[in-house]
A and B are shown apart, each in its own frame.
Chain A
């Protein structure tokens, strides 16, 4: 038995030494570390605190990056309301709606993102997870390991193949808002986004969108019945991205029965001053951190105009 334990111990210690050597070498060689989206730890922290006084933001990264719950909270005068941004990269938000319905949680207002690509957006299975303190701690540890250790992700591989990874860092606030930094300048980032959205356009999933609309309508019916308000929101995008999306098979959510649909898709060059896109956008598709603060404040104005009790 002791021989077994000693061997196991030595094996484990050597493994740790090897890990340490690799990690140290990467740091000495200044290998850029990939920064990751925080999906599950964020969910563990925020989903359990959603309640009937919540203004809940759901959808994809455009909303996650572009709507700052802290700014909205500063602008709102009603203390009883809280704002939670549960939008996530590549998400269509349906999983969270399913979870809320299952647990009879009906927020005051849900702002649901929309683009024609929501038919292809996957959810992250957040309705299938159990939310608890131990799970929250576990996810927090997992995320911080992923953010810190090179051996926890593909940073080294990425470095060898591409030199620099896509994401530099993520700074999350307590209510789910995030500031993301990527490598490269605006032009490079816009180019990447154009490639992505052209691919989406060329493989437009109309069946997926139809299915999504049907599922959303079912959920909207249930949430409305339980006195939640669900509004759709098309986040502002740059001209280049707008042109791609506007030419997709259909860009308006004619088939989703939102209580109200805020179409801000061409907002920056119609309502706002028509300044260069790089002022408003981080990469043509997501709002810049500075403008997202401005936009969040304005959004509260639009909402309270439509729903005077939300101020």
Chain B
């Protein structure tokens, strides 16, 4: 059930009305309804993996309780490691086993030996990387005494499986979401309207920008040998906007949907392409994952406390792990590695917290210096996305080498004018709304209702008319 499908619209309508009208504002009933709906939503992808989700939920719930009951530190540690090993074990089997088996076979073939690795013919359970990280953060927080274990199984299960975030995040924290699940929720008109607006903007990003960009990006990447260097640059640009609008569009829909139920989820994107350096980019891109790695990997590894060498080592580790989290392919690892290299100057010269504010705050236009920094950061990001998009390292390298050929200075053989217009419009709206939670959060709030509604209808019309062919959300595969 894709967020941009009629099925989801019907599902959402039914759950929304049942939630506010049938449960009589009884928190327990509301949570049970959310859990049943979430499981239904998940089973719609593949009902067999529902058992895996339930197992993972029970495991973390139980280990959480056991950890708090544990009288000795070693008992607590035992339960913690049990949960970590089982969770990562599942993730490893479903997501990484084939990659390691194939890489091992390839490595030993270089030594003149031959191996026929036993590979698994399994499909990746949707959302496994996300709900595994939910569970892990919960048990680690209990172990570190940051939170008390949740005793109510239904409430805990809703925390893990709440349908807007179940398949592609944002990766929530128990400290943020659980208190909201346990607190009575009453309908808030402003929040609900804001939620709908965010859903609308998310759908626009996904259907009009991401899906259209996907068509051209796929065309260029899939037959890159037929295209010139300049077209390759365009292909990389299209993918850059595709992945942003696809994932941030998904996140907007998730956040907006949750708001309809009176729940606030963590913000996942904050206009990353207007970043002035890579450190800022990573504070604005997939925020829930970046902060997860910061809190549960970077800081436990020592963070920036152990001197320059430790900082460098830890930075490389989190970026490589982050790349690997995206999938079992060397392209993701190189993408992570590239980002680690990009961020290195800021780490070495302690400038990684230079740009904590919003670019050109309170102004219409950035300064020349800001524009230059944004341009450089954007170009670096586009370059790294080439690895992320390519099917293999070889493909990425040949794609890049074509960019740096003479054909870079020719006219691209693909020029989708309508898409260019939409991209310009999109960048302008994002720029104007960069101080808000999402681009159109405040857009037209002071306009007369008729004009504001006309703008919403225009967005819907654009989705109808200029939507690219329906594509699955990229991050569902992770």
Q: Which of A4-41 contact B (CB under 8 A)?
A: 4, 7-8, 11, 14-15, 18
CA distance A14 to B465 in the complex (A): 18
Known: A15-B460, A151-B464, A157-B465. A4 touches B453 (CB 8 A): no
CA distance A157 to B189 in the complex (A): 38
Count, chain A residues at interface, CB 8 A: 15
Residues of A within 8 A of B192 (CB): 4
From DSSP, what is the main secondary structure of chain A's interface residues?
Answer: helix
Residue B372 CB within 8 A of the other chain = no
Residue A1 CB within 8 A of the other chain = yes
Residue A203 CB within 8 A of the other chain = yes
- By the criterion CB–CB under 8 Å, are A1 and B460 in contact? no
CA distance A14 to B464 in the complex (A): 16
Residue A3 CB within 8 A of the other chain = yes
Which residue of the partner chain A has the closest CB to B460? Answer: A15
Known: A1-B20, A157-B465, A203-B226. A15 touches B457 (CB 8 A): yes
Residues of B within 8 A of A18 (CB): 457
Q: Which of A145-172 contact B (CB under 8 A)?
A: 151-152, 154, 157
Residue B55 CB within 8 A of the other chain = no
- By the criterion CB–CB under 8 Å, are A14 and B189 in contact? no
**What is the size category of the interface that chain B forms with chain A?**
10 to 19
Would you give the shortest CB distance from A134 to chain B, in whole angstroms? Answer: 10
CA distance A14 to B187 in the complex (A): 25
- By the criterion CB–CB under 8 Å, are A3 and B189 in contact? yes
CA distance A151 to B456 in the complex (A): 17
Q: Mark B461-477, 1 if CB is under 8 A from A, else 0.
A: 00011000000000000
Residue B451 CB within 8 A of the other chain = no
Q: When the two chains form the complex, which single residue of B187, B453, B465 contacts A11, counting CB atoms closer than 8 Å?
A: B453
- By the criterion CB–CB under 8 Å, are B193 and A4 in contact? yes
Residues of B within 8 A of A1 (CB): 20, 187, 189
CA distance A125 to B460 in the complex (A): 28
Residues of B within 8 A of A7 (CB): 193
CA distance A296 to B456 in the complex (A): 53
Q: Mark A272-306, 1 if CB is under 8 A from B, else 0.
A: 00000000000000000000000000000000000
Given contacts A8-B196, A15-B460, 7 further A-B contacts (CB under 8 A): A1-B20, A1-B187, A1-B189, A4-B189, A7-B193, A152-B464, A157-B465
9 sample A-B contacts, Cβ–Cβ < 8 Å, listed by A number? A1-B20, A4-B187, A4-B192, A14-B457, A18-B457, A138-B7, A151-B464, A151-B465, A157-B465
Top 6 closest pairs, chain A to chain B, by CB: A1-B187, A4-B189, A4-B192, A151-B464, A3-B189, A1-B20
